[in-house]
Amino acid sequence: MTTCPLVVAPPETTANVTFDKTMDDRIGEVMRRYPTRRAALLPVLWLCQERFGWISPGVISAVAERLGDSPAFVDGVVSFYTMYHTSPPARYVLQVCTTLSCSVCGGRELVEHLKAKLGVGFGEKTPDGSFQLVGVQCLGACGNAPVIQVNDDYYENLTPQRLDAMLDELREGR
Amino acid sequence: MPKLTIDGREVEVAARTNLIEAARAAGIAIPYFCYHPYMTVVGQCRICMVEIEGQPRLALGCATSATDGMVVKAETSERAKEAREAVMEFLLANHPLDCPVCDQAGECLLQDHSMREQRGTFTSHMAETRRTFPGYERRLLGPHIVQNQNRCIHCSRCIRFTSEISETAALTYKSRGNSMFIDTFSGEAFDDPMSACAADVCPVGALTVREFRFRKRAWKLRSTPSICPGCSIGCNIFIDHHEREVHRFTPRENPAINATWLCDYGRFLADSLNEQTYLYPQHRKAGRLVRAGWSEALAALALEVRAARPLRVVASANLSNEALFLARELFGHHLRGDLVVPVTTGEQRRMKNGRGEWLQATDPYPNSLGARRLGLNVVDGDGLSRFLYGGSGLTLILDAEAHPFLAGAEALQLLRVGATAVWLRREHPLAGVAGWLLPAASLASDEGTFTASTGAVQHFAAAFSPPGTVRRMPTGAMSPECPTIASPWGPPGEARPLWLVLTALARELGASNLDLASPAEVFTLMARTERAFAGLEWEPLGGLQRDESLRERQHVG
Amino acid sequence: MESVLLRARGVSDSRSIATYLAAGGYEGWKKALGVGPDAVVKEVLDSELRGRGGAGFPTGRKWSFVPKDHPGPRYLICNADESEPGTFKDREIIEHDPHQVIEGIAIASFAIKANTAYIYIRGEFVRWAKILEKAIAEARAQGLLGTNVLSSGFDLDIWVHRGAGAYICGEETALIESLEGKRGFPRLKPPFPAVVGAFGKPTVVNNVETLACVPHIMTRGATWFASIGRPRNTGPKLFCVSGHVNRPGVYELPLGVTFREIIEEHCGGIKGGRKLKAFFPGGSSAPIMTAEEVDVRADFDACAEAHTMLGSGGVIVLDDSVDMVNVADNIAHFYAHESCGQCTPCREGSDWCADILDRIAAGHGRSADPDTLLRICRFSSEGMTICPLGDAYALPISSMVNKFRADFERRIAGASPLPPKKLPVLPWTGPRPGFGI
């Protein structure tokens, strides 16, 4: 399994966003699935996050205009969910499960290990911008605890040794 | 029509009435924060818990419809009371104890309900550090709204207001759970045309109105029912005043016109009611203005109008029906003068009524429909200019602010030809040309009726006697001067409402049928003689009666 | 017991439609189209299938609540927002046998006459969303979905809708709100979704596992299904076992096995030879059970009798090395993080509990704390909140305090008072526009 690094558009280029033809077509395709325009909001935000790497205020304005909602409404929705990045993320976002099963099966040690190794706390990025450590709630893979989700991929049954190997692999892969 | 029993009282209500309203009809107050009669029911605050016989769980007063034969226990249920006490504890767990410095104190639902719902012996179990929102404690959310997020109880009324009523959807929750807060998009200003209503609906001090903050403690204010003078929609308001100074307008409930809303433009006209530049009748003698008493002024005016050839009267759509009626009878019929009501077009104003329909107006006067219905000659700026043209004789201008044309150089030029008497309250160019300057009273000291654009004839009451001579004591308190003999109409100050001056003038002129003692009498005469007012009675005019209006309803305590 | 829902586990290329068809797949769908919606509902009613998402509501009854004469569209939503701590069964089904779910969705949609179905899958499950999308495309290519399915005149579109990280969206009305593109705030009930659901139309929300059972009921009959398990608790159930056991994982067992069997026989007992201390029978939202209660049968009614719930079947096993204060603290943080914040008791209470438990865990507990926790929990549950998230944190925490009070009292006994707080001094950041009021 190779996890692809996130491609993140810098804040300067996402201040004012207009959707190009491909993007607009994809949004149109998504909107056809639902009886209301608003219902396409979550999928459209996913498309935007795929395209820009994060949901900037400029993206919110553009999405709000496209779907006919107020930007404040879209902003409220974006902030409700944890998976939309509202600031530019690192290339690899390490989402460590901190909930019960993982926590009692070595997750706590894993977190300590990661914090020490990367030198960052939860919510922080490494100075070189390659890793971001995020503590998340249950990832729904408790049988294979402890679990880390890196970008879109699950890494399960981890030990500090396996984790180190994984991090090295990701680092080389960049 | 379901019939139900609440705390032993039987009450019959309309179908689909919720228990809060049903209880209110029975004279029982169920507390609430998030419920608002004109917005969707969300059932978020959980304080309106009641016990319904035969149901194992407590029910929400806001989200439960009354059904026939239902037996509800609100105050008599120990379980419901216990639950409400717990909800109060939850709400207060993270609410700052800053009532002494909070401007909402005195009209705060949280304060009221905590006094009511928590027993005197109750102490909170909360021993943790309170949640705070650094940077959001004193923040300008928009031009009129100050936000203190620490005080927010997350009732979502302000959010629902912007999404359902003003339809700008400018406010939203951000984040979720206990760290949720109210915000606009990306730091944009909250400049909704009805933004101050968001502070009205806020049950606590999380949103307050910038203009009113710290001007007056809520419990000092007295509220007088009135009508907004801002446009022809005729929103029902309370004039909140203290010691003869107007501090704010707040909406007064009227489902047909403004539900419980008020636009920012109308609301912030409140301060203008305190402007009173002219306090005494003045007469121009040899180019200098000389102060005169009303008796002298009325006698002199009576002589002048009787002799005037021709007599021209510029009335105003800002005047009450009563004043317009008196002017028409006195100057039009009795003295055979010419009378016009000049009107102009203003900015568009919008208001949402209780059925969710928008009312619109571009007419900036509160009573132009009243003038039309009284059969008065309503003219625009050009018509006014033609009316004033070539004017020897006497021109009476009953309201200097009747039309912007009156402030222009052309009008002043035209009026220099003959004699002019003008009623005015604030600085106005007409003061430079008129022979008589007569002080007019503000809306707060006037009484009468306006006819709104919907056709409703609505009553406004006098908040206080004309504020001619209010003065500030060295301590900052306000005090009226003592009544004097020079002021024959009771309390001090010599700015007088127009109806009073016109009835006095009628007496001078011998028109005894118009020598009436109150606007109520004028109205009764009008109702008898005018088709447009036939069948109307003075007492029940205008929106809901005072004890039914929302501000009392919110304060269910 | 033979494998039903997980029969494809271990089969090569199990996800492809060819494999599924070869094993008799989509026969149930064809049969359903033949017998008509009412017969399908009756079959499912007779099977006594109960919802596998947590509440255990009879699926057939849920379907029959949809107004028969309602004009206009209705919707079926497959709830794949699997976020309950300790639960990972839906992922397992989708991983090995996505067509089973698609077929179940098709039959259920047909039963309630819905022409559009959505699969609401949690945002983290990117891989499994892709698997489902591929399966839908395959089924569509075979004419099993789309317009005029198998020349029956019935149209059906299925769309995968990804969530974006919110546990609360597993609650059916919050899920509907989220599907409609809003914040995932649960709705007041009534009206129930079967009457006013997604986009204001009648909607049925069923769990992945529930829907995966449906094709088997159609092909093999209600009687066969009802013969598995116990009366009123019929059929196979996926148990997700995690925590301190030797072989954690998903096990397919008939409803009514005892937790002892699950833990000792199927999962090989407690890891490292330690002793069982406690376990959650159905995800962390279920009241915790002690080692003495391990002989309780794992079905909906037996769990309810034992004052807990089977929930989603997520068994979290804890050995005697854990301290209940830490467990309570951990799950309190989960619920505080996932509370939507809409209604008062849950928004304030979940965080308050987490704060108290943090303090006890940090060695600054007070003797009144357990009772305060119980009080908070009491007034956050039993109808005090809009949705069951209030109960979901209140019941386990209060059960932990009640059943393991000794753990709490031991920590509190050795506690030191909280050190005096240093009042923060706000840093001066210079004048800020608009802040100087």
The CATH number for C404's domain is 1.20.1440.230
Do C341 and B125 count as a contact with CB atoms less than 8 A apart? no
The shortest CB-CB distance from A83 to any of C123, C161, C181 is to C123
Point out the least confidently predicted range of A74-83, B454-463, C279-288, C425-434: C425-434
Q: Indicate whether C350 and C369 sit together in one domain.
A: yes
Q: Do B176 and A72 touch (CB under 8 A)?
A: no
Contact call for B177 and C350, based on CB within 8 A: yes
Residues C60 and C154 in one domain: yes
> Which of C165, C195, C227 delimits the end of a domain?
C227
Q: C331 and A149 in contact by Cβ < 8 A? A: no
**Do residues C157 and C118 touch, judged by C-beta distance below 8 A?**
no
pLDDT at B25: 87
Position B492 scores a pLDDT of 52
Per-residue CA distances from C179 to B174, C133, C343 (Å): 19, 17, 21
Say whether C339 and B87 touch across the interface (CB within 8 A). Answer: no
C192 plus C291 within the same structural domain:
no
Q: Is the peptide bond before C190 cis (omega within 30 degrees of 0)?
A: yes
- Are C17 and C2 in contact by the 8 Å Cβ rule? The answer is no
**CA of A95: how far to CAs of A53, A109, B89, C130, C283, in Å?**
16, 15, 36, 20, 21
**pLDDT tens-digit readout, C360-374:** 999 999 999 999 999
Measured between beta carbons, which residues in chain A are less than 8 angstroms from residue B171?
72
Give the tokens for residue A46: 């996913």
Q: What is the pLDDT of residue B473?
A: 41
CB contact under 8 A, B131 and C351: yes
Q: Strands C249-254, C236-243: parallel, antiparallel or unpaired by DSSP?
A: antiparallel
> Residue B521 phi/psi, 5° resolution?
-65, -40
Preceding omega of C231 cis (within 30 degrees of 0): no
- B186–A71 CB contact, under 8 Å: yes
Same domain, C213 and C245: no
A112-163: pLDDT as tens digits:
999 999 999 998 999 988 899 999 999 999 999 899 999 999 999 999 999 9
Q: Say what the pLDDT of residue B542 is.
A: 55
C218 and C267 both lie in a single domain: no
CATH number for position C175: 3.40.50.11540
User: What are the boundaries of each domain within chain A?
Assistant: 11-80, 92-172
Q: Do C386 and B125 touch (CB under 8 A)?
A: no
Domain end call among C261, C289, C317: C317
By Cβ distance, the residue of C338, C349, C386 closest to B43 is C386
C167, C329, C333, C347: best to mutate for the B interface, most B CBs within 10 A: C347
Q: To the nearest whole angstrom, how far is the Cα of B180 from the nearest Cα of chain C?
A: 7
Residue B133 contacts C, CB cutoff 8 Å: no
What are residue A40's phi and psi, to 5 degrees?
-80, 0
For residue C67, tell me if it sits in a domain: yes
| CB C210, CB C49: distance < 8 Å | yes
Task: Please state whether beta strands B311-314 and B394-397 pair in parallel, antiparallel, or not at all (unpaired).
Answer: parallel
Element spanning C45, H or E: helix C37-47
Rounded distance, CA B41 to CA B39, Å?
6
Residue C433 lies in a domain: no
Instruction: Calculate mean pLDDT across residues C165-191.
Output: 93
Search chain A and give the residue with CA nearest B159: A73
| Contacts C334 to A, Cβ<8 Å | 99-100, 137-138
Same-domain pairing of C248 and C335 = no
Domain containing residue C297: 233-317
The two three-digit tokens of residue A95, written as one number: 């989402």
CATH architecture of residue range(s) A92-172: 3-Layer(aba) Sandwich (3.40)
C4 domain residue, yes or no: no
Q: How far is CA A125 from CA A129, A169, B9, C218, in A?
A: 6, 18, 64, 52
**List of residues 6+ apart from B82 with CB closer than 8 A:** none
- Residue C313: C-alpha distances to residues B449, B548, C50, C310 (Å): 70, 54, 13, 6
Interface contact C339, partner B, CB < 8 A: yes
Strand C75-80 vs strand C203-207: parallel, antiparallel, or unpaired? parallel
Task: For B167, name the nearest residue in chain A, comparing CA atoms only.
Answer: A70
What is the per-residue pLDDT across C249-305, written as a single tens digit (0 to 9) for each?
Answer: 999 999 999 999 999 999 999 999 899 999 999 999 999 999 999 999 999 999 999
Chain C residue numbers with beta carbons less than 8 Å from the beta carbon of A99 are 85, 284, 330-331, 334
Instruction: Count other C-beta atoms under 10 Å from residue A161's C-beta.
Output: 9
**Cβ-contact C144, C150 below 8 angstroms:** yes
Chain centre to alpha carbon of residue B193:
17
Question: What chains are in contact with B, requiring at least 3 Cβ pairs below 8 Å?
Answer: A, C
Domain count, chain C: 3
Give the side-chain half-sphere CA count within 13 A for C71.
0
Q: Provide the chain C residues 222-241 that lie in CB contact (below 8 A) with chain A.
A: 240-241
Burial B165-194 (b: 16+ CB within 10 A, else e): bbbbbbbbbbebbbebbbbbbeeeebebeb
C200 and C65 inside one domain? yes
ipTM of this complex prediction, to 2 decimal places: 0.94
Strand, coil or helix: B458: strand
CB–CB of B213/B102 below 8 Å? no
**Same domain? C281 vs C214:** no
The structure tokens listed for B111 are 């304060």
Between positions 299 and 318 of C, the ones with CB within 8 A of A are 314, 316, 318
Measure in Å the smallest separation between the Cα of C315 and chain B Cα atoms: 27
Instruction: Find the angle CA(B83)-CA(B87)-CA(B93) to the nearest 5 degrees.
Output: 140
| Interface touch A80/B176, C-beta < 8 Å | yes
* Cα separation, B294 vs B292, whole angstroms: 7
Judged by CB atoms within 8 Å, which residues 369-388 of C form the interface with B? 372, 375-376, 378-379, 382-386
Q: Could you tell me if A72 lies within 8 Å of chain C, comparing CB atoms? A: no
Quote the distance between the C-alpha of residue A20 and its chain's center: 23
Distance in angstroms (rounded) separating the CA atoms of residues A46 and A29: 14
> For A11-80, which CATH class?
mainly alpha
Q: Give the list of residues 6+ apart from residue B135 with CB closer than 8 angstroms, or none.
A: none
Q: Both C25 and C100 in a single domain?
A: yes
pTM, rounded to two decimals: 0.91
Contact yes or no for C186/C390 (Cβ under 8 A): no
Q: Which residue of B has its CA nearest to A73?
A: B172
**Chain B contact for C64 (CB, 8 A cutoff):** no
User: Which residues in chain B land under pLDDT 50?
Assistant: 469-491, 546-557
Residue of B163, B176, B185 with shortest CB distance to A71? B185
Whether residue C343 sits in one domain with residue C285: no
Residue A56, exposed/middle/buried by CB under 10 A (0-12, 13-18, 19+)? buried
Cross-chain Cβ contact C183/A82 below 8 Å: no
| Residues C254 and C190 placed together within one structural domain of the fold | no
Label residue C336 by pLDDT band (50, 70, 90): very high
Do the Cβ atoms of A80 and B175 come within 8 Å? Answer: yes
Chain C partners within 8 Å of B91 (Cβ): 344, 348
- Same domain flag for C155 and C126: yes
Reported as type and span, the H/E element at residue C86 is none
B-chain residues near C376 (CB < 8 A) = 125
C352 vs B60, B128, B173: nearest CB: B128
Please confirm whether the linkage preceding A146 is cis (ω < 30° from 0).
yes
Interface of B with A (CB under 8 A): 162-163, 168-176, 183-186, 188
